[in-house]
Amino acid sequence: MKFFYTFIFLLTVFIPLSAKEAFGFGRDVPWQKAAPKGKFSVSKDNILALDGKTAGMDIDTKLLQNPEKGITLMAVLKVAKFPYLTSEDKYHDAIFCRRHQLIMGIDFDRFYVNFHNGQKWFAPLLVNVKLNDNQFHSFAMTAERIRVESQGDDHLAVRMYFDGKLVLERNIPNVKVADSTGELNIGYSSSFGKVWNLGGEIIDVRGYNKVLSVNDIED
């Protein structure tokens, strides 16, 4: 019963229902529509379990615009340190990744976000979070390029949220996020190899072609 109320809480206060989605799976859309691949299972409650070695999904890159134009990525999940995983496998988990453009995930139990400019990853953002409690947690990231020519201001505004709370806000000056023709990976990374496959369970993933406000995301 405790899990049930936690589940409802995460879906009602963390994931807004009114904003127009670029994509969404899990809450009210069967995971099968995302065409998972590799070793996975879907419970009767529509929770997706990934093996941390082979499983993942790909979303048409056209559904999510360049982060510079404003995006929000959100997920509710629980990570698992399966005994068959190597130490590298256990501590690198991609939630979202688009080749040579962006990654959002978990790196050594830290919430991790980074962006690519076409030549290199330029913005490693890391936040220590509590993950080893066998509980579901919510992750969110917003990004948008802000330009005010009259003030000489040009920066990528990034916010990271954990369990509905703002945990990092960073303005990265004078950068450009590369366009990408690659698909949006969910639960793995085509950029970093199999050590970044996510092991655990996912309740819900969402993407928006707009920056949701702090009030939209915070409880």
pLDDT at 19: 56
Q: Are 75 and 14 in contact (CB under 8 A)?
A: no
* Residue segments in the chain with a per-residue pLDDT below the cut of 50: 1-18
Q: Which CATH architecture has domain 2-217?
A: Sandwich (2.60)
Return d(Cα 192, Cα 79) in angstroms, integer: 18
Pairing verdict, β 48-51 and 40-42: antiparallel
pLDDT at 219: 55
Helical (H) or strand (E) element with 215: helix 214-217
pLDDT at 11: 46
Helical (H) or strand (E) element with 162: strand 153-162
Kindly report, residue by residue over 106-120, the tens digit of the pLDDT.
Answer: 999 899 999 999 999
Q: Are 35 and 57 in contact (CB under 8 A)?
A: yes
Q: Are 181 and 190 in contact (CB under 8 A)?
A: no
